[in-house]
Amino acid sequence: MSLFMIIQSKIKDAEKYNQYIDQVLPIVEKYGGYYHVRGGIIRAFGSWKPERMIVIEFQTEDQIQNWLKSPEYSAVAPLREEGADTEAIIVEGYHKN
């Protein structure tokens, strides 16, 4: 069953965050991730009004952990940390029996 990493980000330094965005895609893909949502227009219902949302699909939690702990990601992670405040969750995909 697929796992989805859902990330909410609020940009604080657009230049650094854009550098991160430019560099992270091939790293995610190398570790088995597939972007479903990468920014775009958000239509809010209710009081939750996130600035930017990202949804990445992985097949296993090991893939997620290997990506996050990889030397390639460690090299670009400071750009994300300096460029945006983020919150993330991992949810299991739905599989109908």
pLDDT in tens, 63-80: 999 999 999 999 999 999
Say how far apart CA 92 and CA 59 lie, in whole Å: 10
Are 28 and 7 a contacting pair, CB within 8 Å?
Answer: no
DSSP characters over 31-95: TT-EEEEES------TT---SEEEEEEES-HHHHHHHHTSHHHHHHHHHHHHHEEEEEEEEEPP-
What is the pTM assigned to this prediction?
0.92
The yes-or-no verdict on residue 91 having pLDDT over 90 is yes
**Amino acid identity of 12?**
K
The yes-or-no verdict on residue 97 having pLDDT over 80 is no
